Structure 1
């Protein structure tokens, strides 16, 4: 199996879809999905699908989905990967059935290793596979539009800017050791700067709903992306960093947002890995 090819179309990344036996590119029949989520500009260019018989207008159907994800310490349970959790939230929001396959390096199938570098999360949908969480989310939202979770660029610009850089800053602080040294304090300050930006966005008086984009009334892909990352931060600030600041007191709008998305059914149904696995994941660096 050959790895999928990537080509730029008008400055956006076009994903060339692939079957198990061949990759194909049909530049004259590309339909671009240009919804920006988080800080990336990924688009899927697709019109024909990787079916056994290519047909104009053929589209994927529900069913036949398998999601390969990072396992927990036991190698069998679901791990704490926030990117896999993001994809799972999208699947649950859309009511799509799938097989969840925690997969160790030793148990990865050859087609995943050879064709996709073993990257996870990996969504296999019948004869196709996608290995970037943003690409997977956009694929699901494009072909299974109930509910529609994408947001036009002009409506998501402020939210995208508000969360830009949060995850790298959070990861650097959580992973740093020892706690409390000069470098640790610098990394904490960098994280708090990102939290302040998010606090100001969520506190905007023009917003009427609890979610990130537009007026906050609609739950979107960006919320699915942020919820697992904020959960990892929430757990690790307590269990790993020893509560270096009072999140609720300093960033009440962020805390309120976290409570809102953590209470959502799609989050509750996909957070079975729990705090212990989060701590293991962030301190073992697997």
Structure 2
């Protein structure tokens, strides 16, 4: 287990985020839930400590803090939180304006955009039967197309600015700044990008311009780019479950 301090300027409660460690036992491991919370805390601009946990050698202190739990979990002023969704809600409530930015989406549709992608990706990538690959790939691709349509459709605020707009130019799901929905979806899309290329030689089609724009903008953000696990870590994590087709 290693501990890293994220330097921030804002005064804040004592916060420690425990996340899954990589195979080296020190770096950030492959866990979209861990990355989601890491991004939220970084976007909030709060002082926090990031602790990576090697579950093969989990120290007794962690067993005492969250017995039976898997990372991520949060220590907030000695109060332990273990459910990712509840941690997100808790942080949005506790780290609120005016001191901290609000990260919830303005439009409820943004929260659900891409919600079925990871499930269809899993079915696609874990399938060992070549005869089923085409059908599963089409089903998976349809979920990407659906997300692309949402990203290309102007949101109400864009239409208020330009009633004649037919294609969105926003950077992210809900606007031009990262929101909670992005913290949930982007870590999964990063895994998808790496794993599909490795095991299916499949890349997100450039014809999906909204999705391509979304990912390009996301990788320019420190809060996303620097919280991603290494590609090699993702490939290693999926080695036992992803199936090469012969």
1:191 paired with 2:140, answer: yes
Q: TM-score, normalised by structure 1?
A: 0.68
**Offset at residue 187 of structure 1 (A):** 2.4
- Asked if 2 retains the 8 angstrom alpha-carbon contact of 1:65 and 1:99, the reply is yes
Partner residue of 1:110?
Answer: 63
Partner residue of 1:280?
Answer: 236
Quick one: distance in 1 between partners of 2:152 and 2:116? 19
Partner residue of 2:75?
Answer: 124
Quick one: distance in 1 between partners of 2:220 and 2:135? 32
Among 74, 83, 86, which residue is 2:33 paired with? Answer: 83
1:212 paired with 2:173, answer: yes
Q: TM-score, normalised by structure 2?
A: 0.78
Aligned length: 213
1:128–1:241 distance in 2 versus 1, CA, 3 Å: same
- Asked if 1 retains the 8 angstrom alpha-carbon contact of 2:39 and 2:183, the reply is yes
1:151 paired with 2:105, answer: yes
**Offset at residue 236 of structure 1 (A):** 1.3
Does the residue aligned with 2:113 lie in a helix, a strand or coil? helix
1:258 paired with 2:215, answer: yes
Partner residue of 1:95?
Answer: 45
- Asked if 2 retains the 8 angstrom alpha-carbon contact of 1:175 and 1:283, the reply is no
Segment of structure 1 superposing worse, 230-239 or 96-105:
96-105
**Offset at residue 222 of structure 1 (A):** 0.3
| Higher RCO, 1 vs 2 (CA within 8 Å, ≥6 residues apart) | 2
RMSD: 2.1
- CA deviation map 1:154-181 (0-9, x unaligned): x22x223432211211223233336xx1
5+ residue gaps, structure 1, are 1-60
1:1-286 equivalent positions in 2, closer than 5 A: 62-105=12-55, 106-108=57-59, 109-114=62-67, 117-145=68-96, 146-151=100-105, 155-156=107-108, 158-177=109-128, 181-206=130-155, 207-213=168-174, 216-243=175-202, 246-271=203-228, 273-284=229-240
Quick one: distance in 1 between partners of 2:48 and 2:233? 22
More helix by share: 2
Structure 1 runs of 4+ aligned residues shifted over 6 Å read none
- CA deviation map 1:246-274 (0-9, x unaligned): 52334221111011112112112322x31
- Asked if 1 retains the 8 angstrom alpha-carbon contact of 2:19 and 2:34, the reply is yes
1:97–1:177 distance in 2 versus 1, CA, 3 Å: farther
- Asked if 1 retains the 8 angstrom alpha-carbon contact of 2:66 and 2:82, the reply is no
